[in-house]
Amino acid sequence: MRQNLASQTDRNLAASKSCKNSDSLSRVSVGPALTIRQWEPDDGDAGDPEHVFGVPVREILARRADDPAVLVALRGNRFALTGPVAAMGRSMALLHYVRIRARDARHAADRLWLDEVHELLGRRQPRSDNGSRSAGPSPSRTS
């Protein structure tokens, strides 16, 4: 299942990158687990959103200092990452998305932001039977 989600997410990220400059970029989603699309002016302030994709923001967990972007907790046990591209989903799906973005990041500031997001989301993972968290490796440690 994880591999299936990973391959679907990789395909959706590639699709969103290829459509980045399109005026008609539509929502790209992986079933109910993850939704990714370009942040539009009608969505409001990406650095201080009241809602993401129509879901009310419950709490801002982290705010990027150098760009308008935040990690937020939403109603319904979902999380979202905003910025030029927004992603919303359950914590594990968003963690996987963040790892891919960090791996492909061209700038150190982007990697630092995504490392922070990964760490915060990892702390919110449910514990496994042996008491450890199942967040996976930090994005800066993946190859």
**Average per-residue pLDDT for the chain:** 78
Q: What pTM did the predictor assign?
A: 0.69
- Decide: 56 and 76 in contact? Cβ < 8 Å: no
Residue 25 has pLDDT above 50, yes or no: no
Domain ranges, ordered by start, for the chain: 2-125
28-60: per-residue pLDDT in tens?
A: 544 458 999 999 999 999 999 999 999 999 999
122 membership: H or E segment, kind and range = helix 108-123
Q: How sure is the predictor about 71, in pLDDT bands with cuts at 50, 70 and 90?
A: very high
Cα distances (Å, whole numbers) of residue 32 to 12, 85, 93, 136: 14, 18, 10, 21
